[in-house]
Amino acid sequence: MQVGLDTFTIRELELDPFATLTFLREHGLEGAQFGGVRSLSPTLDPGALQEVRQEADRLGLYTHVSVPTCNPHLVGGSLEDHYAEFVRQIEAAAACGWHELHSSLGGGPERYEHPVRWTQHLADSAAFIRRLGPVLRHHGSRVNLETHGDTTTFELVRLIEDVGPAIAGICLDTANVLCHAEDPVAAARRAAPYTHLTHLKDGILYFSENGYVRQGKAPGQGCLDWERILPVLGEYQPQLPLSIEDHKWLFEFAIFDPWWLSLHPDLTCEELAQVVKLVWQCERRIAAGELPDPAEYEAIPYLDQMEERLHFGRDYLIGVLERRGLR
């Protein structure tokens, strides 16, 4: 298992693809999950895309790319145009050897605010992926849906088993599962058989008036149990790329609201209790001074701490992997 980053982590540096690859080497990282294919070449120029892939290969770095959303309800224009664009990006990526493709169904609010029920989003997204099936199978490619604050691991597993794991998988964001009060270890166990890409992030939790707040942290600086999570993932995918996605921001999750709970029918009392325990443990650590005050820490600009956080997460993850015999 190799440790790299998702390029969103270093977005404030505004690096081009080649400068990004140089940054990876200089900072002891082993690969990158890039953004959309068109972020590497706005015209999907085959030569330009191949240059990026070849330079990454020369440097011994893994690379992956993203494709648009699979959710028809979030398409701005014609669904037929979106489908045609999706096919073009699958083909362009496959020509460069990028077959494990990152995507998502939403960004979080859609589950709660969209006029169409979330269950319909899931059904229609599955239908869209099935329609892409012949193209994906022809190129040996797979769309890996992120736990993006929108979809639970329960829902993703059902969707993948419905459309088929040959064409759909999971990009597991390890801390975003907390958006739905999923225990990170239990969520990793559910997702592991279908996980082919990752966004590794950590977080701390503290109670709020409506539930709890998650503050983003680098891997090893929060409450996730990496000594249990990484072996679970490695059991199914020994070569799984581990891409750190780090950022700040505070997110609140309204677990005290009956309406919020009603939108999470898979959530069990046992799993919710485990997450509440994590919140309680974090609050004790904050009170004891073992964790910095969340408001004071959040006030520091991310860019001021970016490299320190990135280096800490890199070293911490490599240490866990080595202790667990995963590299």
Q: Which two tokens stand for residue 28?
A: 């002891």
CATH number at residue 314: 3.20.20.150
Question: pLDDT in tens for each of the 327 residues of the chain?
Answer: 999 999 999 999 999 999 999 999 999 999 999 999 999 999 999 999 999 999 999 999 999 999 999 999 999 999 999 999 999 999 999 999 999 999 999 998 999 999 999 999 999 999 999 999 999 999 999 999 999 999 999 999 999 999 999 999 999 999 999 999 999 999 999 999 999 999 999 999 999 999 999 999 999 999 999 999 999 999 999 999 999 999 999 999 999 999 999 999 999 999 999 999 999 999 999 999 999 999 999 999 999 999 999 999 999 999 999 999 999
Closest CA to 309 of 246, 256, 266: 246
| Residue 79 falls inside a structural domain | yes
Measure the CA–CA gap between 274 and 316, rounded to whole angstroms.
24
List the alpha helices (DSSP H) in the chain. Answer: 17-26, 37-40, 46-59, 79-95, 110-113, 118-139, 153-163, 184-191, 226-236, 258-262, 269-287, 294-299, 302-323
| Residue 135 falls inside a structural domain | yes
**What's the domain count of the chain?**
1
Q: Which two tokens stand for residue 169?
A: 């998988």
| Residue 150 falls inside a structural domain | yes
Q: Which two tokens stand for residue 307?
A: 């490299």
Measure the CA–CA gap between 19 and 102, rounded to whole angstroms.
22
| Other Cβ atoms closer than 10 A to 308 | 10
| Residue 319 falls inside a structural domain | yes
Place of tokens 């011994």: 60
| Residue 15 falls inside a structural domain | yes
Amino acid letter, 292 = P
> What is residue 108's predicted lDDT score, i.e. its pLDDT?
86
Tell me the residue range of the domain where 314 lies: 2-203+224-247+303-323
| Residue 291 falls inside a structural domain | no
| Residue 114 falls inside a structural domain | yes
| Residue 31 falls inside a structural domain | yes
> What is residue 243's predicted lDDT score, i.e. its pLDDT?
99
